[in-house]
């Protein structure tokens, strides 16, 4: 969702810039990877590293070994990395040691919680990056506080929103509502994958009991992340998934965007969904103790509700009963962020 609009934006500079795609294979589930390339109208990646799963160390190491070969062969002027996953920091480390410039899209976001692997990935990548493309003003403040040169920073807005703006017309053709047997604007959409929520049997039990209780008010749609599914099954919690909870496999981008757009309420621990719900003016409860995307709370419709599921249940019920949070769209979340990035890269080179 972040690479697609940037890839499209570079096409207008095809006389001077060759933009190649490298898929590390960190996200290797076909439904979470291949379908995204198809729906986002991305070409097949120029390089596929196929690293698969593993511990953070194993995965990062395999990406570094494979990506180094790509860089030694291609000798690019610049690599562009996105977000805060292991691929982001692994590719940045390799490029930095080879003297290749790095651009980080979604730079400067901070949760200030170093127990999150994503926080470490973000911080290390930002130290190494030569061009830091920032999505919200908090990112500029964070980078300045950490001693990053202002000349390296560019406040360009959020490329995730570019994808929403571009693909929203296709959402009306989605058949996901009839497939799942739910009505628009009358369901709670839930996504949970962070270890702090789903790796503990006790937490997972509380989550499922809360979703069961809420599902007596309105149906709950629960596209289950592979990590969450594995933990539900291994802990023998399948019986807690009630009949009003609609469990699905991971969904394609268009179908999932349709579910976000027409949800009555979203409960999530995903940073991207916090942003998407803010842009689409949908009520969102973030089941985390912190968020690296404060604009979604300060400006948007997102509420940070912590990880006490009794509290989450109460806030969810209050929201369903009309206690909604008014929100606006943050600055530069306008569908043109990728154009700004491409223009800046073209000017620099």
Q: Does domain 172-320 have CATH number 3.40.50.2000?
A: yes
Cα–Cα distance measured from residue 2 to residue 87, given in angstroms and rounded to the nearest whole number: 14
Residue 32 has pLDDT above 90, yes or no: no
Cα–Cα distance measured from residue 295 to residue 293, given in angstroms and rounded to the nearest whole number: 6
When the pLDDT of each residue in the chain is averaged and rounded to a whole number, the result is: 94
- Maximum Cα interatomic distance, the chain, rounded to a whole number of Å: 59
pLDDT tens, position by position, 291-317: 999 999 999 999 999 999 999 999 999
3-state secondary structure of 48: strand
Residue 34 has pLDDT above 80, yes or no: no
pLDDT tens, position by position, 268-290: 999 999 999 999 999 999 999 99
Banded model confidence at residue 229, pLDDT cuts 50, 70, 90? confident
3-state secondary structure of 78: strand
Banded model confidence at residue 212, pLDDT cuts 50, 70, 90? very high
**CA-wise closest residue to 293 among 281, 275, 305:** 275
Q: Chain-centre distance of CA 91, in angstroms? A: 18
Cα–Cα distance measured from residue 281 to residue 105, given in angstroms and rounded to the nearest whole number: 24
Residue 31 has pLDDT above 60, yes or no: no
> 188-215: string of b/e by CB count within 10 Å (b at 16+)?
bbbbbbbebbbeeeebbebbbbbbbbbb
**Out of 23, 56, 193, 225, which one is annotated catalytic?**
193
- What is the CATH code for 3-157+333-348? 3.40.50.2000
Q: In terms of C-beta distances under 8 Å and separation of at least 24 residues, what long-range contacts does 233-236 make, across chains too? A: 235/201, 235/204, 235/205
pLDDT tens, position by position, 94-113: 999 999 999 999 999 999 99
Per-domain boundaries in the chain:
3-157+333-348, 172-320
User: Would residue 23 show up in a list of annotated catalytic residues for this protein?
Assistant: no
Q: Do the two domains 3-157+333-348 and 172-320 of this chain adopt the same fold?
A: yes
Banded model confidence at residue 141, pLDDT cuts 50, 70, 90? very high
Q: In which element (H, E) is residue 121 found?
A: helix 117-128
pLDDT tens, position by position, 162-201: 999 999 999 989 999 999 999 999 999 999 988 888 888 9
Cα–Cα distance measured from residue 76 to residue 20, given in angstroms and rounded to the nearest whole number: 10
């Amino acid at each position: 969702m972040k690479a697609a609009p940037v890839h499209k934006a570079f096409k207008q500079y095809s006389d001077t810039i060759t933009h190649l795609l490298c898929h590390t294979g960190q996200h290797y589930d076909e439904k979470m990877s291949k379908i995204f390339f198809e729906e986002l109208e991305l070409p097949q990646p120029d390089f596929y590293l196929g690293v698969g799963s593993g511990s953070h160390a194993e995965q990062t190491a395999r990406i570094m070994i494979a990506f180094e070969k790509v860089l030694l062969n291609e000798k690019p002027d610049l690599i562009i990395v996105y977000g805060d996953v292991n691929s982001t920091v692994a590719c940045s480390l390799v490029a930095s040691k080879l003297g290749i410039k790095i651009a980080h899209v979604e730079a400067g976001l901070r949760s200030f919680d170093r127990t999150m692997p994503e926080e470490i990935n973000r911080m290390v990548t930002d130290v190494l990056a030569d061009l830091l493309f920032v999505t919200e003003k908090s990112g500029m403040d964070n980078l300045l506080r950490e001693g990053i040169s202002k000349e390296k920073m560019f406040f360009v807005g959020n490329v995730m929103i570019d994808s929403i703006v571009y693909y929203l017309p296709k959402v009306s053709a989605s058949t996901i509502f009839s497939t799942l047997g739910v009505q628009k604007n009358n369901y709670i959409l839930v996504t949970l994958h962070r270890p702090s929520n789903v790796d503990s049997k006790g937490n997972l039990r509380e989550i499922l009991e809360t979703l069961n209780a809420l599902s007596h008010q309105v149906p709950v749609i629960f596209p289950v992340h592979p990590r969450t599914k594995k933990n539900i099954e291994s802990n023998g919690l399948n019986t807690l998934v009630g009949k009003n909870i609609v469990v699905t496999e991971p969904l394609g981008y268009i179908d999932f965007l349709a579910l976000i757009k027409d949800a009555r309420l979203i409960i999530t621990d995903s940073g991207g969904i916090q942003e998407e719900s803010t842009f689409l003016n949908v009520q969102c409860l973030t089941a985390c103790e912190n968020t690296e995307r404060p604009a979604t709370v300060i400006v948007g419709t997102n509420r940070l509700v912590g990880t006490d599921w009794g509290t989450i249940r109460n806030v969810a019920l209050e929201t369903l009963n009309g206690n909604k949070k008014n929100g606006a769209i943050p600055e530069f979340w306008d569908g043109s962020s990728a154009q700004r990035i491409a223009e800046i890269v073209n000017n620099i080179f």
